[in-house]
Amino acid sequence: MTPPRTAVRRLALARVISLAGGAAAFTALQYYIYAETGSTLWLSASLFLTMGVAGFVSPISGSIGDRFDRKAVMIASDLAGAVCFALLAVPTRPAVLLPIALVASLVETPFWAASSAAIPALVGQEDSGWANGLLAASRNVGIMLGPVIGGLLYAAVGPRWVFVGNAVSFVVSAAIVWTVHGRFKTETTQADEEEHKGMRAGFVFVLNDRVLRLIVVAWIVLVAGLGLTMVADLPLVALFQLGPVAYGVMIAAWGGASAFGSLCGRFMNETREPLFLFYGTLMIAIGTGVIAVAPWFWLVVVMSVVWGLGDAAGMVAEETLRQRRTPDAVRSRVTAASMAGWQITNAVSLLAAGFVVAWVGPRWVYGLGAIAATCAALVMLPVLKITRAERAGREAEEGRVLARGDQG
């Protein structure tokens, strides 16, 4: 049996390797598609198919993680991704590459629902915040390093070898997951299985849990605004009459802050999770709002750090809080259902971003992001009151049980 914290560290390492490889491969794919076609429509289609479709298949990916052994699901997902990326190295036409890239994106989705759902069983609820923070940090590091690696390798050896390298990274990730020996699921009763039956069970659970429902709505509102800013970054840098180095500094500041902010999970517990979620969202609003009016680029970089810290803290708090409120029998499906809303919103936002940035300009787009983040924080505000009341109710009930025991 692998010690719980060692198991999480191995999963984090697997995530860094597979995410960095995947981000490198998708970066190379986008470079190649744009170089071959010269069309922003082709580039938009590439982004949509590789980043935007996951939410549409969430019921299936969540069901896979609840129905089958989660470790086996993660390994199979990695190996299927390796096959797809190896196939990408063969054809050269964009019309052939994109369908393969779509399949590669789809086969990755069960990995994320299964790995998230497995954390409470691997480490226990008391260490879930630490574990989720480490996994989120590994995700952010992979996403931050991947595009840099992809760009450098694309220039040095061309896209095919980037795809091959990513296929190898997925095999390495699967091998690391295979070395983890522990519980990826907790014991569930027949009654639990019957209560949470079918692909819709995750959505039903979220809709019936007021806290999770509010968080999903808040994330949808948040992503609707922040998705637009992804396309506004380069035009914003151009407003300051700066070039690719400044753009890299801005993205690295956000990514580094996100990786660092993810580690705050070790300071979270049941009482603090809603606070981290709410104030993290407020930090996003402050960061994007100041960027919208910043007269100096150094202030944009500083606010990118603030935004990254808040984003990471909120994501770790949301994941840990969701795991805490969800029974194991339906946890993968609840994870997938919770992610579906903001993933689909992100896909739509990416498709609309080019038009919106051209229409109102990058500063106004960041202003829209700040408004969206503020509205999201307001939606989350009742979560603080509800969770506080739930804790008070449990403590009162425990007090009554103890009092009856003393009387007996």
Q: Is the pLDDT of residue 338 over 80?
A: yes
Q: Is the pLDDT of residue 99 over 80?
A: yes
pLDDT of residue 244: 60
pLDDT level of residue 216 (50, 70, 90 thresholds)? very high
Q: Highest mean pLDDT: which of 46-60, 99-113, 233-247, 292-306?
A: 292-306
Which CATH code fits 203-408?
1.20.1250.20
Q: Stretch 16-45: mean pLDDT, rounded?
A: 77
pLDDT of residue 198: 67
pLDDT in tens, 113-164: 788 778 888 887 677 778 878 888 887 788 777 777 877 787 788 888 889 9
Where b means 16+ CB within 10 Å and e means fewer, 42-73 reads: bbbbbbbbbbbbbbebbbebbbbbbeeebbeb
- Please give the residue that has the higher pLDDT: either 369 or 245: 369
pLDDT level of residue 25 (50, 70, 90 thresholds)? confident
Residues 6+ apart with CB under 8 A from 300: 236, 240, 250, 291, 294
CB 18 within 8 A of CB 169: yes
CB 357 within 8 A of CB 44: no
Give the number of C-alpha atoms closer than 13 A to the C-alpha of residue 225, restricted to the C-beta side.
25
pLDDT in tens, 174-205: 999 999 888 887 766 555 555 556 677 888 88
pLDDT of residue 404: 65
Whole-number average pLDDT of the chain: 82
Distance between first and last Cα of the chain: 42
Domain boundaries, the chain: 1-184, 203-408
In which residue are the tokens 């922003």 written?
Answer: 40
Please give the model's pTM, rounded to 2 decimal places: 0.76
pLDDT of residue 374: 96
pLDDT level of residue 112 (50, 70, 90 thresholds)? confident
pLDDT in tens, 341-382: 877 888 788 778 777 877 888 899 899 999 999 999 999 999
Q: Highest mean pLDDT: which of 45-49, 175-179, 315-319, 323-327?
A: 175-179
Give dist(CA 9, CA 325) in Å, integer: 24
pLDDT of residue 55: 67
CATH 1.20.140.10 holds for 1-184: no
Q: Is the pLDDT of residue 258 over 90?
A: no
- Lowest mean pLDDT, pick from 34-38, 192-196, 247-251, 358-362: 192-196
- Please give the residue that has the higher pLDDT: either 153 or 281: 281
Q: Is the pLDDT of residue 390 over 70?
A: yes
pLDDT of residue 203: 86
Give the C-alpha distances (Å, rounded to integers) separating 121 from 214, 334, 384. Answer: 26, 16, 26
In which residue are the tokens 């080019």 written?
Answer: 354
